[in-house]
Amino acid sequence: MAKSHIVFISTPGIGNLVPLVEFAQLLVNHDRRLHATILIITMSQRPIVNAYIQSRVATSTSITFLPLPPVDPPSPDQYRSTMGYISLLIQNHKRHVKNAITKLMSSDSAESKSSNSDQVVGFFVDMFCTSMIDVANELGIPCYLYFASPATFLSFMLHLPFLDAQNPAEFVDLGTELSIPGFVNSVPPLVLPTAVLNKKGDAYSWYLSHARRYTETKGIVVNTFRELESHALDSLDTSQVPQVYPIGLVLDLYEPTQKRDLNQYESVIRWLDDQPSSSVMLLCFGSMGSLSGPQVREIAYGLERAGVRFLWVLREPPKSQLDLPSDHANVEDVLPNGFLERTRELGMVCGWIPQAKILAHQSIGGFISHCGWNSILESLWYGVPIATWPIYAEQQMNAFEMVKELGLAIEVRLDYREGSDLVMGEEVDRSIKRLMNGGDVVRGRVKEMREKSRIALMENGSSHQALGVLIRNLVPKI
């Protein structure tokens, strides 16, 4: 059967790559004439990403994973932030990406002598892979942006060049809140991404440069659904923005992202099985989140005071700028003396676990989350209310959206900054009690959104329809 090939490339981060792979899977499941090739940028500092790719390669038949040859990493004088390093690393792969797609196109055209229709019909790049738009242009392939964050953040990024031109001063020094089209409320500068709060930093220049290129694409696929972000999506419906396709939620619910420690996973599930329904609070801070020693101790103090059942994913801060957090060799080293003993009946502390599987468990009743977009979507899918504790990337803005725009979460903090902020144990205790014992309005709204998220994916649901339109635009003859 003739195939229409679609090529994908993602930033090497679990929160970027997993939803991109799941989106590729969604496309090929939707139409068997589509074939997906995912170009892989390897980063040795990302063991969880590398393990995920290995497990996906082993289990996937309908997607080709194509590792790109290694490139020289950017030299330290070329970047000052992780964002700078990653953007340059991706950019350095352009030649290899062009070669890989050219090869794919020439094998397509060789095959097409018999089938007369195999071709590469689209190249999807993620929010930090915008340098690859050049490759698509050189090869004459339609380029699409795959956006794994909310529509509100997309709206912010598209608006950033205007905000930058209008406000030469730092945003926090403006003394006023910002009007951003995707938000109903005006937005306090302190919930902008940390990178955007320092205009002199290279991370800010990279954000701007990526944002400026989004409008060069033929369309933008967003991992969201209309019923969740209708205002933000409506604000994007203008002639200045390429067509937006809200096709979410795209989640990896069935294949745990990572089961590196099977024993730990099984003992967590055994423990959860013994707990009453909706009684356990999950604390998890994402693939890149870790907290300082004093903050860990305050959380421990808050948990003991609250006396609520808990499952706490506690990870060790990275050893260097480009590293990610890792599991503690011994968690007791960072917890208050005797904490594990005193809370033995009440909770568990663990390392990386497959979060979506945990959220699916009937004993989970609340989630203190760093508000990464995948985590938010997972919690909505399972109807588990969040208390917001944003740490990095666009998470402060996501927390603001969840609490202030949508009324779908309870606030611990909206503008937390690791290192310069400390949430005291009393505050942790109060937030936990509000989340687990009160917060009925939020809990009810989250349950409603859970139903809407499921309807969006059904045949003729809003996301299903958007996917159909996308496929018709990608491959008009199908």
Q: Which residues bind ligand UDP (CB under 6 A)?
A: 13-15, 18, 257-258, 284, 286-288, 313, 352-356, 372-375, 378, 393
In whole angstroms, the minimum distance from the beta carbon of 277 to ligand UDP comes to: 21
Q: Which residue has the tokens 């709204």?
A: 445
Measured from the CB atom, the residue of 393 and 456 that comes closer to ligand UDP is: 393
Measured from the CB atom, the residue of 223 and 463 that comes closer to ligand UDP is: 223
Backbone φ and ψ for 470, nearest 5 degrees, come out as -60, -50
Helix ranges (H only) for 307-461 are 339-342, 355-359, 373-381, 395-400, 425-437, 440-457
In whole angstroms, the minimum distance from the beta carbon of 355 to ligand UDP comes to: 3
In whole angstroms, the minimum distance from the beta carbon of 360 to ligand UDP comes to: 11
Measured from the CB atom, the residue of 4 and 374 that comes closer to ligand UDP is: 374
Close Cβ partners of 45 (under 8 Å, ≥ 6 residues apart): 322, 323, 324
In whole angstroms, the minimum distance from the beta carbon of 285 to ligand UDP comes to: 8
In whole angstroms, the minimum distance from the beta carbon of 311 to ligand UDP comes to: 11
Measured from the CB atom, the residue of 19 and 365 that comes closer to ligand UDP is: 19
Q: Give the residue closest to ligand UDP by C-beta.
A: 15
Indicate the DSSP class of residue 72: P
In whole angstroms, the minimum distance from the beta carbon of 392 to ligand UDP comes to: 7
Measured from the CB atom, the residue of 299 and 393 that comes closer to ligand UDP is: 393
In whole angstroms, the minimum distance from the beta carbon of 371 to ligand UDP comes to: 8
Q: Which residue type sits at 134?
A: D
Measured from the CB atom, the residue of 258 and 388 that comes closer to ligand UDP is: 258
Close Cβ partners of 139 (under 8 Å, ≥ 6 residues apart): 98, 101, 102, 105, 120, 123
Helix ranges (H only) for 307-371 are 339-342, 355-359
Measured from the CB atom, the residue of 233 and 353 that comes closer to ligand UDP is: 353
**What is the rounded CA–CA span in Å between residue 122 and residue 4?**
9
Indicate the DSSP class of residue 74: P
**What is the rounded CA–CA span in Å between residue 240 and residue 211?**
13
Q: Which residue type sits at 241?
A: V
How many other C-beta atoms lie within 10 A of the C-beta of residue 37? 19
**What is the rounded CA–CA span in Å between residue 409 and residue 369?**
10
Contact between 125 and 9 under an 8 Å Cβ cutoff? The reply is yes
Measured from the CB atom, the residue of 286 and 383 that comes closer to ligand UDP is: 286
- Measured over the CA atoms of residue 134, residue 468, residue 224 and residue 155, the dihedral's sign is positive
**What is the rounded CA–CA span in Å between residue 51 and residue 58?**
11
- Closest by CA to 302, choosing from 433, 429, 431, is 429
In whole angstroms, the minimum distance from the beta carbon of 313 to ligand UDP comes to: 5
In whole angstroms, the minimum distance from the beta carbon of 148 to ligand UDP comes to: 7
Indicate the DSSP class of residue 215: G
In whole angstroms, the minimum distance from the beta carbon of 13 to ligand UDP comes to: 6
Indicate the DSSP class of residue 119: E
In whole angstroms, the minimum distance from the beta carbon of 31 to ligand UDP comes to: 26
Q: Is beta strand 326-327 parallel, antiparallel or unpaired with respect to 315-316?
A: antiparallel
Contact between 332 and 345 under an 8 Å Cβ cutoff? The reply is no
Measured from the CB atom, the residue of 4 and 388 that comes closer to ligand UDP is: 388
The pair of structure tokens assigned to 310 is 């808990």
Helices (H) and strands (E) in the chain, counts: 17, 15
The pair of structure tokens assigned to 440 is 């009925």
Measured from the CB atom, the residue of 144 and 367 that comes closer to ligand UDP is: 367
Measured from the CB atom, the residue of 150 and 425 that comes closer to ligand UDP is: 150
